[in-house]
Chain A
Amino acid sequence: QKEVEQNSGPLSVPEGAIASLNCTYSDRVSQSFFWYRQYSGKSPELIMSIYSNGDKEDGRFTAQLNKASQYVSLLIRDSQPSDSATYLCAVGHFGNEKLTFGTGTRLTIIP
């Protein structure tokens, strides 16, 4: 079992719809959770962090964390073609120590 699992996709979503990206992790003591967006050939870019159970909203993005189920998700509302990228889920024990990444989900927004 991988430490951080993501559906590799590709996930295709019509423009304007909600894109839902999911991630599960195996280490129960994980405390910090991040979503990074990576455009092809570019560096990963941090878009959301979440540390407590529940939802965290930032603009069109909402991160959801359920530690009991070891599950973290990212919702993108009103999807835009510019949201087409690979989304990486990353999990850590503490904010400044090593992160364990999933392989990423490739998202394509269809105009």
Chain B
Amino acid sequence: EAGVTQFPSHSVIEKGQTVTLRCDPISGHDNLYWYRRVMGKEIKFLLHFVKESKQDESGMPNNRFLAERTGGTYSTLKVQPAELEDSGVYFCASSQDNGDGYTFGSGTRLTVV
């Protein structure tokens, strides 16, 4: 089975620009998560979708971040406008409804300059 796919793998943008990250979960996985790792820090939760609904968005840092999952398939995470502190690796993960852990994507490394 195909894994969790994220793109782009790398993105370098200027402060103030907009970037959209995409995640395609494993087919059939209703749960989709976004996490972020800032350099030197732990991986931190951003939000959790169940199908197309936001189950928990308590980790979203501010209103410059917008996540969507139209139709309960792929998800996008938009950062607008980007700030320097948004730099990091953004991971997407998906899981079935059996509580047996996630499968992570390879991440998008975002650099804001």
**A interface, CB within 8 angstroms of B:** 2, 4, 32, 34, 36, 42-46, 49, 88, 94-104
Let me know if B14 is at the binding interface, CB within 8 A. Answer: no
Give me the interface of B with A, judged by CB distance under 8 Å. Answer: 4, 31, 33, 35, 41-45, 48, 50, 55-56, 58-59, 91, 95, 97-107
Q: A43-B106, A46-B102, A98-B45 are in contact. List 15 more A-B contacts (CB 8 A).
A: A2-B42, A4-B42, A43-B104, A44-B104, A49-B100, A88-B43, A94-B99, A95-B99, A96-B95, A96-B97, A97-B55, A98-B33, A101-B35, A101-B44, A103-B41
- Most-contacted residue by chain A among B31, B95, B102, B103 (CB, 10 A): B102
What residues on A are CB-neighbors of B59 within 8 Å? 98
The answer to whether A43 and B42 have CB atoms under 8 Å apart is no
Q: How far is the CA of A104 from the CA of B43 in the complex (A)?
A: 9
Contacts of A100 in B (CB 8 A): 45
CA distance A49 to B95 in the complex (A): 14
- Say which residue of A32, A36, A44, A103 sits within 8 Å of B99 (CB atoms): A32
Select which of B4, B42, B97 is within 8 A of A101 by beta carbon. Answer: B42
- Contact between B100 and A97 (Cβ–Cβ < 8 Å)? no
Q: How far is the CB of A83 from chain B (nearest CB, A)?
A: 19
Residues of A within 8 A of B50 (CB): 96
What are 17 residue pairs bridging A and B, where the CB atoms are less than 8 Å apart in the complex?
A4-B42, A32-B99, A34-B101, A42-B106, A43-B105, A44-B43, A44-B91, A45-B104, A49-B101, A94-B99, A95-B98, A98-B33, A98-B45, A98-B59, A99-B45, A101-B44, A104-B42
